[in-house]
Amino acid sequence: MTRTLIHFVLFLSLTAPLFAQNKAIAAGEKLTYTASYNMSGVLTDIAQVIMETTQVKTSKATLLRLKCTAATYSKWDNFFKIRDLYESYVNPHSLTPYLYNRDVNEGNYFKNMKYTFNNSAHTVKSVMKRKNNSIKNSSIKINSGTKDIVSTLYYMRTFDYKSMPVGTKKSFTILFDNEEIKGIITYLGKETISTAIGKKACYKLAVGSSETHVLQGKNNNFLWLTADENKIIVYGKFKIPVGNGELKIKSVSGLKN
């Protein structure tokens, strides 16, 4: 199960359509999920994932902080303890990232990664810190529209799925571990599903990637977003090199619409 949630969050982020404006997300939103993983053939709830948004004011701008945390339930900590943090500071209108921070603590695995985006120059300053306190500084050239994991995950909610023909495909690029990763989504239409917050009409997406170390197989990775103005993720199914699992909405508060 090593690095399972890293791959899982990456799976979720591989769904970003491009060139949209944010009308779905505001400060004060909180989404809580249960993450399940297939253990010995049984789908088991192992962790809680929380996504939160807050407003941050600097001397030059007002930003939106997008924060995602993942933690195993206490009964699983002795087996494999996970305490992960992913956060991105973005323009509240375009969700263009300026600063990204990732703290991964999974068992004996630790990594801290910080990105500082220079979007006009299409470059990223990267600082990576390992458990032994070794530090690696890098300057990375990126393509226009490349985002980090967290801003990509939120940006997917800004797209106009309502006007999208079934079968539409969108490609995207994210920066992960100092490498640009290519991915694609396919819009599969609307579907109503039962969730912990009630029955929801949803937009269903299939997620794929050309990177074999991220996702496996065809038609094995899906997301369901509410078919309303908020477009929150309420359910996800994934298959990755280390296994398969699900993400299920648990509670919601502070929605914009």
Q: What is the full DSSP assignment across 144-182?
A: TT-B-HHHHHHHGGGS-GGGPPTT-EEEEEEEETTEEEE
Does residue 204 surpass a pLDDT of 50?
yes
Does residue 237 surpass a pLDDT of 80?
yes
Does residue 19 surpass a pLDDT of 80?
no
Q: Which two tokens stand for residue 141?
A: 């050239």
Long-range CB pairs of 213-221, under 8 A, 24+ apart, other chains included = 213/241, 214/7, 214/10, 214/11, 214/14, 214/181, 214/183, 214/240, 214/241, 215/11, 215/14, 215/239, 215/240, 216/240, 216/241, 220/244, 221/11
Does residue 214 surpass a pLDDT of 80?
no
Over residues 134-154, mean pLDDT: 93
Does residue 15 surpass a pLDDT of 70?
no
Over residues 44-49, mean pLDDT: 95
> What is the per-residue pLDDT for 39?
78
> What is the per-residue pLDDT for 210?
58
Find, among 104, 109, 102, 72, the residue nearest to 87 by Cα.
Answer: 102
Q: What is the pTM of this model?
A: 0.87
Could you give the domains of the chain?
4-253 (2.40.360)
Over residues 51-73, mean pLDDT: 96
Over residues 232-242, mean pLDDT: 86
Does residue 235 surpass a pLDDT of 80?
yes
Helices marked H in 14-143? 77-80
- DSSP helix, strand, coil percent of the chain (3-state; round to 5): 10, 55, 35
Among 62-71, 165-174, 187-196, whose mean pLDDT is lowest?
A: 165-174
Which residue matches tokens 């299920």? 248
Residue 13: its H or E element: helix 4-13
